[in-house]
Chains A and B, each alone.
Chain A
Amino acid sequence: MIKTDILIIGAGPTGLFTVFEAGLLKLKCHLIDALPQAGGQCSEIYPKKPIYDIPAYPEILAGDLTEKLLEQCKQFEPGFTLGERAETIEKQEDGSFIVTTNRGTKHQAPVVAIAGGLGSFEPRKPLIDNILSFEDKGVEYIIKNPEIYRNKRVVIAGGGDSALDWSIFLSDVAKEVTLIHRRNEFRGHLDSVEKVQELKNKGKINLVTPAEVMNIVGHHKVEAVVVSQSQHIEKEFEIECDHFIPLFGLSPKLGPIANWGLEIEKNAIKVNNALDYQTNIPGIFAIGDVNTYPGKLKLILCGFHEATLMCQAAYQIINPGKKYVLKYTTVSGIDGFDGTRKEAPKAVVKAIE
């Protein structure tokens, strides 16, 4: 059981900044995210694109914003459960909550902050009739551990960066890599496209375009995929393989959180915005893109503000009745949980003669 003060669901910009604000109040955080990395939409959808409306940053790349947020909250030593989706929540007699992921990891905290954005990022599954029955039996939509492909025959489908990048990476690991795409053109960074071209020429990647995987063949595990190729004439053939990895991007789904008894409106969680962004269940807050209230704007800077106010309410729940007074970071400095201290240099007091 992972125990913490504030359990944050979603490691997007809102969740990451919560760690910092909570840290100032000496509250410890743990984050759960379905993605294998932190950053939410900023890292999954547009890491290389600029944002122009982060206060004091005339321009910052979404990926760099994620890096900065991680750096800013580092001394408060957040815990991470990545690559897992928060599935169920149970209220305990002592008022705390236990949140369990799809992999069975349990987390306990007196306060839960849902910073789930547009929802948990889930892979987009191609429309192949029998694909579901091969999941975890050779079909993987996300590559978590590349080692499982060592000396295996792998078929990758997709036309974007992740299909290109993984084909390149696995060409050194797997016995055989086949990349299948509906068109001859790929949508990716120039380097990746050129690298795949080079590996194709060397015979290290078997490129099949324009083509599509129609079906999967095998007894209890993937043994081959049926491919339809439409170059010159339409033809259908099988490619023997041990793994089929469709990489068609991820799309966010509110998912299990919708069944937690929270008030939902327009695919978002209703909160009390006059006070502290608490939901209809005391102790559960919703901040950032995932919440809604009159006048809500789904912007990063709004998530930061919501996170800050929410932490004050969390402090009161965790330290009932305790007096609190706001301190400026400039004045009080920052004491990290890792023993580090940041502080403003003292003014020099010296006579001028």
Chain B
Amino acid sequence: MEQQDVNIKITDRDGVTHEIVAPTDMAMNLMEVVRSYELAPDGTIGICGGMAMCASCQCYVLSKHELPEMQDDEEAMLSEAFYVKDNSRLGCQIQITPEMEGLEVELAPES
């Protein structure tokens, strides 16, 4: 398999923007990328492990990327989360693929 990294811009909860490189061949999702770069303290993101059950990985998508469509469980979880905006997504439901090149997101506040 061809190995490819993508460049992603993530703004953390303190408003600092990080330009990071994420692998597409590790079956990682956006929440896991945030954790692996420690852009949010342990225990404040990924609490449900990435099962769309806690919304601790909520982020706002700032760039105009065509993202995978929301599944029922993501939509349901977001409808119970706080600080939700039109561009909210759950980071754990966004797989890192080559199409994510240039993605820009901002982490939603902790709740």
Contacts and interface: CB of A to CB of B under 8 A. Distances in A.
A256 to B, nearest CB: 15
A252 B82 contact: no
Contacts of A266: 38, 41-42
A124 B43 contact: no
Contacts of A39: none
A185 B76 contact: yes
B53 A124 contact: no
B54 interface: yes
B51 interface: yes
A46 B42 contact: no
A108 B73 CA distance: 45
A230 B76 CA distance: 17
A276 B4 CA distance: 43
Q: How large is the interface on A (under 10, 10 to 19, 20 to 34, 35 or more residues)?
A: 20 to 34
B47 A127 contact: no
Given A45-B48, A45-B54, A251-B111, 13 more contacts: A46-B51, A127-B82, A159-B79, A159-B80, A183-B76, A249-B54, A251-B47, A251-B54, A251-B56, A254-B43, A266-B38, A266-B41, A266-B42
Contact of B42 (A185, A248, A249, A268): A268
12 contacts: A45-B53, A46-B51, A49-B51, A119-B43, A124-B82, A126-B82, A185-B76, A251-B54, A251-B56, A266-B41, A267-B43, A268-B43
A181 interface: yes
Most chain A CB atoms below 10 A, which of B41, B49, B80, B83:
B80
Contacts of A158: 80
A160 B43 CA distance: 22
B44 interface: yes
A342 interface: no
Contacts of B54: 45, 249, 251
A187 interface: yes
Contacts of B83: 127
A187 B111 contact: no
B77 interface: yes
Interface in A221-279: 248-249, 251-252, 254, 266-268
B48 A46 contact: yes
A126 B80 CA distance: 10
Contacts of A254: 43
A6 B91 CA distance: 40
Interface in B49-99: 49, 51, 53-54, 56, 72-73, 75-77, 79-80, 82-83
Interface in A279-294: none
A200 interface: no
A182 B80 contact: yes
Nearest to B109: A127
Contacts of A309: none
A118 B80 contact: no
A124 B77 CA distance: 13
Interface of A: 45-46, 49, 118-119, 124, 126-127, 158-160, 181-183, 185-187, 248-249, 251-252, 254, 266-268
A112 to B, nearest CB: 21
Contacts of B51: 46, 49
A182 B111 contact: no
A181 B78 CA distance: 12
Contact of B41 (A126, A181, A267): A267
A159 B76 contact: yes
A179 to B, nearest CB: 13
A252 B48 contact: no
Contacts of A268: 42-43
A183 B79 contact: yes
A45 B47 CA distance: 9
A290 B95 CA distance: 28
A36 B72 CA distance: 30
Contacts of B41: 266-267
A172 to B, nearest CB: 25
B80 to A, nearest CB: 5
A333 B72 CA distance: 51
A124 B47 contact: no
